[in-house]
Structure 1
């Protein structure tokens, strides 16, 4: 994986910098980023333009609403999934090429696809961004709504007036209204930060991580998934390993050597590994949708194909968070920062306590097992691999959580380049060890769980109808 020059796929970013409130941003202790503008792509029905454009606008909205670049990725993923499912269903009301997420019989063959995409996306984004929860606050919600409204005004104004435009708006708004009604009682308005959540006291049991007196999103595992209807058929690996085991000692040693901040705690990380660690701190929904935009354009997907791909991608990302948080708060296994500082209590002679050990980035106040970030990457890659028909897809991408001067919104951003999708997913998982967040056991389980979620998502919804062509 290498650095490279800026490519056309890297968005030109606005000067506007949007900073999340300190409390929520500290949830993953990431730098604040700038909202990227929509790429200058065509919006004809023959290309992915309008769908790709609104995908990037959704990222702008998430940044403005203080959900990104890493403050609240579960809510961010849910917003993207809702938007893209509404867009997918709107397009398949105009021309039915794939199964709709919400079944329906009506068709509007004369409606403008571009108007339908814009109307569906805008309605979902405005509604969801406007419901951003405290303590993120109303200012962030209003900023997110403003980004969506401004983008809509510009894009709907470019669609020629007439019956096709009016019909397209109606189709898009109807699809959005259906989606919003369907998700109105899904459990997403759950407690963001819970100071009363019970902590463990025994070795191996999760307790508030240093710097926090809260548990983050302890109820997210009860949010209704978009597609998952059962627990994954992978329960055995969800069991934490014994603290006295050799594997546990090996994992503790690995994080202890590689995950330190390099200041308070010495670290054996190389400069390349430090870049990897910080690069992937960015929220998974923001990063993997950026990658998917590049791949959609490279593959020359049309509007319908790209709408389906993004819908499947974001459903998998959202459902992976639900499963990860369910498992985390069922197992409640301690984080490396706690395990290393309190290693004298674990009963394992092969571990060594360091009471001042400090990770590269402040550990989020969420239990360890399994890594949601690793699951997100694996789920994304499995969806993209299955939709596009191959793992061998070369791409480069940037990040908003590197040091200033290296981010997507800087004149010469650092890019990391990959020859395969799975290469990026593996590096994403590895980053959670290098940043000091997770044990390898949690990363491995996350990769396995995410792969299953991605597979089940593609197999379970939005399947091609007889008119759809090719492997997609």
Structure 2
């Protein structure tokens, strides 16, 4: 079905955007989620305006030309024109690739007026979002030296922060992040709750796969399986979550109109999830475990104050996490620096977890759409790009292929806890992200009902 072709094209563009040393046009999971939402919204609204089978999401669309009909074939032509036009505008570096793929997707004799109308719908959406705040600078070095504040990954001493202004981007469905997806502050550094999270991640998130036992390897597998941390040939989490949804047999048996609606809804949900998560990340500016554990005790860190917590185990100034996977490194044999091929801690604050927010928003929308609980929805024979028999680890060693079948509930939970297994998040980051993601999902599901 045509929306599957547009989705496939969009996900390939995300992959290419992060491949072979290309400087991403839509860097980070935030800009990726916005681009995916716009491609799908353009396709959705062009199809909706032509066929009348769905309700357009943008009210200021051009009128459908009187010269074209309202049949499915014409609707598909408009959908293709819209999706491809949006893709070219959002991924200009891949214009030649998109043109080649478009020639494969668009059948000979496809109504040119319908295609052109789809392009006009895409232009309307791109114009609508021209001044949405996404063009604001996304990198800086504004680090706070106080205990509890986000700072650089010690393995990446030149690391900048990403997305400080992304929380100011205009949402697609949410009216107001604070009102619609409120998140309470993280636990204070001197509390028992923080101590419990500290004691958990210092043990299960440390870099110890080789030395660890069976449980450590199982945890590491879960952590890496849900990675997609902007790595070469993989891209970011929104690409992964789209692929998970398309491995649900029920999704593939939906009518074309319903597939258009669902795929658009999940990508809009992830776009708003990214805006909401990054709003709260920089509202609270909470440190990651790699800094919090190494500077926990008095005397350590820029201020020497430590975290002041008397409930936790002793900190470790030499602690390093297993880390977000640096998969498919471009120069595995002779990296120019230690940091180049190191697994790493992402370059934005911990609370809430972006993975948990994106994943919960996406998967809860699917559950609402199918009218089932996540535990009653199966993801069948899924292969993560992190374990596809081709992807390499940070040393250049090929990881084996792994095929998994699981419920959508397990996907939500494993995706959430995966970041703790990697040692890049605290447990309250995961639950906070799930809370924000669920709030976003409820709003988006209502908007697309």
Tell me, yes or no, whether TM beats 0.5.
yes
Q: Is the 8 A contact 1:192 1:217 kept in 2?
A: yes
Cα gap change, 1:234 to 1:455, in 2 (>3 Å): closer
CA distance in 2, matches of 1:298, 1:193: 38
Choose from 406, 409, 413 the match for 2:401.
413
Normalised to the residue count of structure 1, the TM-score between the two structures is 0.78
Q: 1:365 aligns with which of 334, 338, 347?
A: 347
d(CA) in 2 for partners of 1:265, 1:243: 30
Q: In the superposition, relative to structure 1, how do residues 255 and 306 fare at CA in structure 2: closer, same or farther (>3 Å)?
A: same
Query: Paired residue for 1:218?
Result: 164
- What residue is the counterpart of 1:399 in the other structure? 384
CA–CA separation in structure 1 for the residues paired with 2:351 and 2:400: 37
Task: Indicate whether 1:88 and 2:49 are aligned.
Answer: no
Aligned 8 A contact 1:265 1:358 in 2? no
CA offsets per residue over residues 156-210 of structure 1, 9 Å max, x none?
2x2435xxx1232022112101111111111112323323x2x122211222222
What SS is found at the alignment partner of 2:405?
strand
Determine the structure 1 residue equivalent to 2:260: 307
Match of 2:421 in 1: 434
Distance apart, 1:117 and its partner CA: 2.0
- Cα RMSD of the aligned pairs, angstroms, is 2.5
Structure 1 stretch displaced more, 103-112 or 208-217: 103-112
Does the CA contact (< 8 Å) of 1:243 and 1:346 recur in 2?
Answer: yes
Aligned residues: 392
- After superposition, give the CA deviation of every residue in 1:274-325 in whole Å (9 maximum; x if it has no partner): 1110011123211111122233765512221111111110011010110111
* Residue 282 of structure 2, aligned match among 329, 349, 363: 329
Distance of 2:213 and 2:279 partners within structure 1: 32
Alpha-carbon distance between aligned partners in 1 of 2:420 and 2:275, rounded to the nearest angstrom: 22
**Per the alignment, in what secondary structure is the counterpart of residue 395 of structure 1?**
strand
Distance 1:365 1:115, change over 3 A: same
From 79, 88, 109, give the equivalent of 1:117.
79
C-alpha separation in 1, matches of 2:90 and 2:180: 32
Match for residue 147 of structure 2? 203
Does residue 29 of structure 2 align to residue 73 of structure 1? Answer: yes
- Aligned partners of 2:377 and 2:408 also within 8 Å: yes
Q: Is the 8 A contact 2:62 2:120 kept in 1?
A: no
Aligned partner (choices 239, 245, 266) of residue 191 of structure 2: 245
Q: Tell me the secondary structure at the aligned position of residue 184 of structure 1.
A: coil
Give the aligned partner of residue 339 of structure 2. Answer: none
User: How far apart are the structure 2 equivalents of 1:433 and 1:314?
Assistant: 25
Counterparts in 2 of 1:280-299, with a 5 A limit? 280-282=226-228, 283-295=236-248, 298-299=251-252
Q: Distance in 1 between matches of 2:209 and 2:250?
A: 42
Q: Is the 8 A contact 1:373 1:429 kept in 2?
A: yes
- How far apart, in 2, do the equivalents of 1:116 and 1:358 lie? 51
After superposition, give the CA deviation of every residue in 1:57-114 in whole Å (9 maximum; x if it has no partner).
101111112288x962111111110011111111111111222111258444156233
Q: Residue 93 of structure 1 aligns to a residue in which SS?
A: helix
Residue 385 of structure 2: SS of its match in structure 1?
coil
Could you report, residue by residue, the CA deviation over 1:121-163 in whole angstroms, capped at 9, with x for unpaired residues? 1110110112xxxxxxxxxxx2x3333221112212x2435xx
2:138 to 192, 209, 214: 192
Residue 104 of structure 2 corresponds to: 154
Separation in structure 2 between the aligned mates of residue 225 and residue 234 of structure 1, nearest angstrom: 11
Q: Which residue of 1 aligns with 2:15?
A: 63
CA contact (8 A) 1:119 1:152 kept: no
TM-score of the pair, normalised by structure 2: 0.81
What SS class does the counterpart of residue 343 from structure 1 fall into? Answer: coil
Deviations 1:403-432 (A, max 9, x none): 85468xx997312221x3122011100001
Which secondary structure does the structure 2 equivalent of 1:352 belong to?
A: coil
- Take 2:418 and 2:98, find their aligned partners in 1: how far apart are those partners? 32
In the alignment, structure 1 residue 457 sits paired with structure 2 residue 441: no
Query: Does the CA-based 8 Å contact 2:172-2:268 persist in structure 1?
Result: yes
Deviations 1:342-361 (A, max 9, x none): 01011113231211111112
Instruction: Find the counterpart in structure 1 of residue 308 from structure 2.
Output: 347
